[in-house]
Amino acid sequence: MALVTCLGAAGLATPATGAVGVFPDPVLPQPESGLNLSGEPFTGTTPDGSVRGYVDAHSHLFMEDGIGGAALCGKVFSAHGIADALQDCDAHGRHGGTALLENLTRHGSPFGTHDTTGWPTFADWPAHDSLTHQQMYYRWVERSWRAGQRVLVNQLTSNGLLCSVNPGTHQDCDEMAAIRLQIDDAYALQDFVDAQYGGPGEGWFRIVTDSAQARQVVAEGKLAVVLGVETSEPFGCKQTLRVFDGCTRSDISAGLDELYDLGVRSMFVCHKFDNALCGVRFDSGATGTFVNAGQFLSTGTFWRVESCPADQPHDNNPGNVELPDELDWLPVPPRYPSGTVCNRYGLTAKGEYLVAELMERGMLIEVDHMSAKAADRTLDLLEDAGYGGVLSTHSWTDERSLDRIYALGGFATMYGHDAEESVAEYERTAGARARHGVAGVGFGFDMNGFGGTPGPSDGRVVYPFTSLDGGSVLDRQVTGERVWDVNTDGVAHYGLVPDYLEDLRVTGGEALTDDVLRGAEYYLRTWEAAESDARS
């Protein structure tokens, strides 16, 4: 590989020690996806001892093994090579006509078609608006690491209800079974990368279990991977008809012990559907209508809504969207009031118990997806305990809560919006960061998470370009016969995250991207606060 020493580019300080890390040429399966960059990952720290690099605090590497194994097509890696890894799902049919989730999320209808070829042509996928095809093939993640990413939080996830209704389901629909399988996947990928780079511990993909280990990995110029859990019914904590729930406090403690022993260090309390622990922050629009129908099928009740003050934290309004005729078999949610609304359902006694258990273990607590009432109560508990390990990682909590999060020592990252929207959120939330001395920002791209990724950059990115950290020069990314260009393709896959960040630099300026490169440092400070507060 060519060695490019350009860390001082773009007005960025060169790290004080180990400015350039030399990594050996790996032994790769053939053929393989290109990286299409020159340069070497920087190592060391800045003169003040801080690490440097960007953070994605919320993505889903192994959704291929979530939701019954047929919701996301293609694998992160395969020992048999890329042609085996990047295939469409058998359940999508010859032309994609039976791809229920793909068609619903991309076309708003159960009906639709797409080219199912995959490798090597990739005519229709991956794409920024195709939510059921693999976007995190390991070489695409490697491109992002080489361009300056230093922390990736891999959120382990599933959904029992979607598993039960999705065509092609062939795995256990128990959400905890899916999470265990994805943990195995993460360690298998670490071993796979190690084998390419010379053996155990030598690869760039490093699963970390404490903040000191993460700092060391980042200082070595590698990618620190944190395991988190984001699922609707953790430990079987399902609720039915607001009366029955499926877990005990012993289940919660034993489940947390198991996850901790497997390396998990971050957790959501609820996700999408109200559970036995807390109420959720609603989705809105057509997505809200679909998710609310799922809530009913899973729990026997629709979301319960009440009006609440506009100047206080509140939830999204689920709205009143009519379902298309093709979906008349789905339960129809009730009509909801317009204006500012809240979920009536907050943090339960068992939810409070889970928060306390997470604090005792020094784990990071995610408040995104909690209803406003649940998040407020969680922040009350953390403030009473003086516990700093709190996160909001993909713009899914009320921004009025940011002051409380930052005051505790917590950290917030933005969803991977289109560049203009990310700049607007960065500017809108700048006051909260300034009040609490937080100089870092990050992202939660939610890749493979059915949320969509940024669209085309409309010609703002000029190839080749220099990465934000100044250490690499990147050209258009090539996989098989497909050449990707963020200007026309958007962030079709994870390898285009650096291209998106170049768009963000052009759109938002150097002050924003300097804060982006401080994101890993501030994430690790929050993790350190959690560990310290748990010991005190």
Q: Residue 207 and residue 225: Cα distance in Å, rounded?
A: 5
In this structure, how many other beta carbons lie within 10 angstroms of the beta carbon of residue 94?
Answer: 9
Pair of tokens at residue 225 = 């991977």
Q: Which amino acid is at 245?
A: D
Q: pLDDT tens, 345-359?
A: 999 999 999 999 999
Contacts of 120 (CB under 8 A, 6+ apart): 31, 83, 479, 480, 481, 482
Give, in degrees to the nearest 5, the angle at Cα 365 between 428 and 435. 35
The stretch 268-288 carries a mean pLDDT of: 95
Contacts of 206 (CB under 8 A, 6+ apart): 190, 217, 222, 223, 224, 225
Q: Of residues 4 and 402, which shows the higher confidence score?
A: 402
Mark residue 408 as left, alpha or beta (left: phi above 0; alpha: psi -120 to 50; beta: remaining). alpha
pLDDT band of 10, cuts 50, 70, 90: very low
Pair of tokens at residue 310 = 């506009």
| HSE of 171, CA atoms in CB hemisphere, 13 A | 24
Task: For residue 482, give the DSSP letter.
Answer: E
Q: pLDDT tens, 302-315?
A: 999 999 999 999 99
Strand runs (DSSP E) across 86-211, as ranges? 149-156, 205-207
Q: pLDDT tens, 388-436?
A: 999 999 999 999 999 999 999 999 999 999 999 999 999 999 999 999 9
- Inter-axis angle of helices 349-360 and 249-261, to 10 degrees? 30
The stretch 252-278 carries a mean pLDDT of: 98
The stretch 321-327 carries a mean pLDDT of: 78
Q: How far apart are the two ends of the chain, measured CA to CA in Å?
A: 47
Task: Find residue 478's DSSP bridge partners.
Answer: 483
Q: Which of 92-101, 258-267, 457-466, 510-519 has the lowest mean pLDDT?
A: 92-101
The stretch 480-489 carries a mean pLDDT of: 98
* In the predicted structure, residue 60 carries a pLDDT above the cut 60: yes
CA 282 to each of CA 239, 305, 343, 512: distance values in angstroms, whole numbers, following the listed order = 17, 10, 8, 30
Structural domains of the chain in order of their starting residue, each with its CATH number: 9-278+345-535 (3.20.20.140), 285-343 (no CATH)
The answer to whether the CB of 54 falls within 8 A of the CB of 442 is yes
* In the predicted structure, residue 2 carries a pLDDT above the cut 50: no
Listing DSSP states for 170-197 in one string gives: -S---HHHHHHHHHHHHHHHHHHHHHHH
Sequence-distant contacts of 433-438: CB under 8 A, at least 24 apart: 433/402, 433/406, 435/403, 435/406, 436/403, 436/406, 436/407, 438/406, 438/411, 438/522
Work out the mean pLDDT of the chain and round it to a whole number. 92
